[in-house]
Every structure is written in C-alpha cells, then in structure tokens.
Amino acid sequence: MDTAIDIVLKLVAITVAFTVVLLIVAYTVLAERRVLGLIQGRLGPNRVGYGGVLQPFADLLKFILKEDIVPDKSTRFIYFLAPVIATMAALMTMIVYPFGPEIAIPFTNITIPLTIARFDIGLLYVLGITSIGVYGIMLAGWSSNNKYSLMGGLRSSAQMISYELALGMSLIGVIMMAGTLDLGQVVENQSGWHGTHWYILFQPLGFVIYLIAAIAETNRVPFDLPEAETELVAGFHTEYSAMKFALFFLAEYINMFTVSMLATTLFFGGWNVPFLDLIFARGTFLFGLVSALGFVFKICVFLFIYIWLRGTLPRFRFDQLMNFGWKILLPLALLNIFITATLIYFFPNL
C-alpha cells in the first residue's frame, strides 16, 4: 500500500515539475525573441495577448497545424525516432535536481522533498543522459538523406564529444570539494555561512569552463555550428517540419534550462538564498517557498545570459571550435583539478 502511495506521489511530482519546467521553457522562447528585439533595436512579438504573453501558445498551435513533410528517401523509422530521443533525453535529467529544501505543508505535519528522485550518483546520471542526447541530433542528420543535415549531424557529434570532456572535467573540482555525487547533498553543503558558502567562490575557473562547455553542449551561439544557417540551411533539422521540428526546438531549450539548473546547483548554491535563514526558520513553509523561487530566479539569470550571448557574439569557425575545446578548455580544466586537489590537501576545512 505504501509503495502505491509512493508511486502516485512521484507521478504527481513528475507532472507538476514537468509542467512548470515546460512553461518556463515556453516563456524562455518568448523572452528570447523579445530580448533579441531589444538588443537589435526592434520590438519582437508583442501582438498575441498583452505584450505577447500568449505567443508561446500561438506558436504551439501553429506547429501542430502545419503540414508534416517527410522526405521521400529518408530512413523512416530513425527519422521519427530522432526527435523523440532528443526530447526524452532532455527531459529525463530533470528528475534529480533539488528544486528546493524539504518543505513543510502548512496545517499538517507532512514534509515533502522538492526533488523527484534522489540517489547518490545524481551527477553521473545527468552526464550519462546528456551524452545520450547527442544521438537525437546525429540520427536526425543521417536519416534525413540530405547533405546539409548530414554535415550538421557530423559537426554536432564531433563538437559534443570534444566539449563533453571539458564539461565533465570542470565539474570534478566541485565534486572533490563536496565529496559526493548526490546533487541534494552538494546543495546542502553550500548552505553554510547563512546560505552564501557557494562553490563559485572556490571554483571560479571551473565555473567559467563549465559555462563555455555547456553552451557548446547545447549547440547555442557562439557554438551553433550544427545548425549554422549561413552554411547549412538549418543543419541537422533542415528536413524536419511541424511538430517534429518543434520537438528539436523544445529539446534545445530544455537543455538550456537543465545546464542552467546544473550550474546553479553546483556553483551557485542551488536553492540557498543568502541570509534567508535569518528571516524564516529552516524547514518552515515560507523558507522552502522562497528558496524554490530563488532557485528559479538563478536559473532565469543564466537563461538571460544565454539570450544575451546570442544577441552579442558571432559564430566560431569549426577549426577554432576544435582548437579551443582541446587545446585551451581541456588543459585549463585539468589545471583546475590540480589546483583544487592541492588546496584541499593543505586546507581540508575550507
């Protein structure tokens, strides 16, 4: 009986979390278009609803109603499978992140954790699922039977393999300081000094490497070579239309969201809002609520940085991309590990 209640509770948690995340993602798309408009001195979409707030739903409706064209000589099964893999891999990492501390429901004595699943290899799980996500793009490029798509898929796989290394290496410093791979524990370790004991203070180099590698992993400007529109039409999703294209689009934005969550969790204290424990006692409902909102706020800052970069930077050339990843980022990440290990050896109490 208890397991049945458990499963129902988990399903509810998954539904709530995914709905909230998808809503945020939908509004990220709108925010991107409005902010890009601001940067480029124009308005952006502002006609659907007040200031364009209903634009994401209009977009969704359009995606559903558009004709779905499947190229004649595509490899059917894989062509259909690719967007599914991309979206699923993007969504699956969501379950390990701690969205907030344990929260006490008012007027009852129930406390619920604001994490869907907590296990002691949380970070490895995230890295593993992320590395599966690349197949969505590769297979899409291959199965479309289009040379631009193929080029996009090849570029994407080369890019993701290269930057995955730097990404993983940049996280090792934090793991060494935290002494655990459990993301919930990592966040709790950062709650010292009234919630300001963030690992960014000790790992600035690791954070910069992570941020750059994460942008490359999500195929965003300035690393958006897999879909470079000036060379490859639209890269790996050239032949995709209607809802299948929307799934790739969605996967990209969910990935942006999850790497922002990981950055927040590992470097910026997760749900720890500075000095909040001086106002509300730990474990109360308001403490949990404000912490969760703080978590979302930090993610939104990262999402804004993504959009800002897109409006500011030009695209890399492919050889620059490879040289940068292998000859600069990876050695720097190794150096970061070395420095961190030395510091931990001499100051074990930091």
Partner 1 sequence: MLVLLFILFAGLAIGCGLAVVAQRNPLYSAISLIGVFISLACLYVMLAAPFIAAVQVIVYAGAIMVLVVFVIMLLNVEQEERGRARLKFLVPTAVALSAILIAEVAFILVTVQEFRVNPSSAPSNVGLTHSIGTQLFTRYLLPFEITSILLLMAIVGAMTLARRGGLLSPNARVVPGAQVLPLSMVDPNAEPDDLTPVAADTSEEAARTLGVTKRD
Binding site for partner 1 (CB under 8 A): 78, 119-121, 124-125, 127-132, 134-135, 138-139, 141-142, 150, 153-154, 157-158, 160-161, 164, 181, 319
Q: Nearer Cβ to partner 1, position 18 or 135?
A: 135
Nearest approach, Cβ of residue 230 and partner 1 (Å): 20
Taking the alpha carbons at both ends of the chain, their separation in whole angstroms is 45
Nearest approach, Cβ of residue 157 and partner 1 (Å): 5
Nearest approach, Cβ of residue 212 and partner 1 (Å): 20
**CB contact burial 74-89 (16+ within 10 A = b; e otherwise):** beeebbebbbebbbeb
Q: Nearer Cβ to partner 1, position 30 or 96?
A: 96
Q: Nearer Cβ to partner 1, position 162 or 264?
A: 162
Nearest approach, Cβ of residue 218 and partner 1 (Å): 16
Q: Nearer Cβ to partner 1, position 28 or 159?
A: 159
Q: Nearer Cβ to partner 1, position 157 or 265?
A: 157
Nearest approach, Cβ of residue 237 and partner 1 (Å): 16
Contacts of residue 349, Cβ cutoff 8 Å, sequence gap at least 6: none
Q: How far apart are CA 5 and CA 193, in angstroms?
A: 38
Q: How far apart are CA 158 and CA 153, in angstroms?
A: 9
Contacts 24+ apart (CB under 8 A), 11-16: 13/116, 14/95, 14/116
Q: Nearer Cβ to partner 1, position 157 or 191?
A: 157
- Please report the DSSP string for 152-170 in residue order: HHHHHHHHHHHHHHHHHHH
Q: Nearer Cβ to partner 1, position 170 or 272?
A: 170
Nearest approach, Cβ of residue 134 and partner 1 (Å): 6
Q: How far apart are CA 18 and CA 96, in angstroms?
A: 12
Q: Nearer Cβ to partner 1, position 179 or 204?
A: 179
Q: How far apart are CA 151 and CA 229, in angstroms?
A: 12
Nearest approach, Cβ of residue 72 and partner 1 (Å): 18
Nearest approach, Cβ of residue 124 and partner 1 (Å): 4
Beta strands in 166-280 (DSSP E): none
Using the Cα atoms of residue 317, residue 259, residue 254 and residue 27 in order, give the sign of their dihedral. Answer: negative
Residue 107 burial (CB count, 10 A)? 7
Length reported for the chain: 350
Cα dihedral 208, 210, 216, 219, rounded to 10, equals: -110
Residue 124 burial (CB count, 10 A)? 14
Q: Nearer Cβ to partner 1, position 119 or 285?
A: 119
103 strand-pairing partners: 112
Nearest approach, Cβ of residue 144 and partner 1 (Å): 12
